[in-house]
Amino acid sequence: MNDLQKRTWAEVSLENLRHNYMAIRAALPAGCRFLGIVKADAYGHGAPAVARLLESAGADYLAVSCLDEALELRAGGIKMPILILGHTPHEYTAALIENGITQTVTCLAKALEYSAAAEKLGRTLKIHIKLDTGMSRLGFLVDGAHFDEGVDNIIRSCTLPGLEAEGIYTHFAVSDEPGADNEAYTRAQFALFCRVTEEIERRAGIGFAIRHCANSGAVVNYPEMALDMVRPGLLLYGYGDTSGRLGLVPCMRLVTTVSTIKFYEPGTSVSYGRRYVTDRRTRMGVLGIGYADGLPRLISNKCAFYAPGGFAPQRGSICMDMCMVDLTQLPQADVGSEVEIFGRRSDIYRLSAAAQTIPYELLCAVSKRVPRVYKDF
């Protein structure tokens, strides 16, 4: 990054990412594959760079949300297997096959569409079957009264021409949350998944090379559910309540600079809506970051960022491109000083609590206009 253009940037430590990958990998059973989740631009960390590191480190699979994300990785030279977790219209079956991308299949109707498209091309599409065991989102319905029909539909999908069913998986809803009820729910999801795969093999003799259930929470909390492959997402980037148990470290710092400092007398209103009024003579700094960069407007007047000398309370409504902080007690902070929004000293968990959200959202919200700078910190 050109120093003359320094405004706001995200520092991403690939060394920390490598450390996290190795620590998670070391905790897995022998022979268990590792799928790295790199959807949403690798949770804001930059998917091409993260994917290149994971490929060189020996990861077995990557997962993205959509075809565009998968094609970005292929264009960037990534050769390893990529699974699309979301929907791809059947009209793009050729693109999936030509680029060696594995597609999730969530119901018989979609399997029939992909099969017809692949047959027309005279090619084979690699797929992973997804089960809805309790997330109530995507996947074949297999619980309760849906069990027999669900199993039959999966068997039919796996035997359609033009499709190669390499894997089968489900997604846990509360594997990262404490409490007996959440543990019981996760174990029930896993038991249902196992029951379905066993019934498919019993009825049709179909086995799957890759069975995977364990997301970030389950990797740590339910290691016995690793099966053939795990899918760490947020955990890989060093966040989440369980990350400390594996000695993982955050991979991103969001940094901005002080662009202007002004003094205001008591009774001065600050920013849109006049939602903050100074109660004393105030040394106010303007930071070059706003909600267009990913800083939630909801945290206005509810947080503080780390500046030279300590934490600077944020004042007034956060604007599109900037926000204000009180530097009265921080004489060390000056025009050009770096201010950490989150990272080593500014806690992303405290920030996400102020925004009434989760760290996932803050990481993914860091916008494209914020350059990613790959350096260790």
- β-bridge pairing 33-37 and 8-12: unpaired
User: Would you give the DSSP letter of residue 300?
Assistant: T
The catalytic position among 39, 110, 126, 130 is 39
Contact 50, 42 (CB under 8 A): yes
Q: Is position 272 annotated as part of the catalytic site?
A: yes
The catalytic position among 120, 262, 272, 368 is 272
Contact 61, 84 (CB under 8 A): no
Distance spanning both ends of the chain, measured CA to CA: 16
Contact 331, 349 (CB under 8 A): no
Contact 166, 180 (CB under 8 A): no
Helices (H), 128-179: 147-158
Contact 282, 264 (CB under 8 A): yes
Q: Is position 39 annotated as part of the catalytic site?
A: yes
275 closest CA partner among 311, 304, 306, 300: 300
Contact 248, 25 (CB under 8 A): no
Contact 61, 80 (CB under 8 A): yes
Sort residue 154 into left (φ over 0), alpha (ψ -120 to 50) or beta: alpha
42: Cα separation from own chain's centroid: 6
Residue 78, token pair as written in the block: 């990534």
Query: Which residues participate in catalysis according to the annotation?
Result: 39, 272
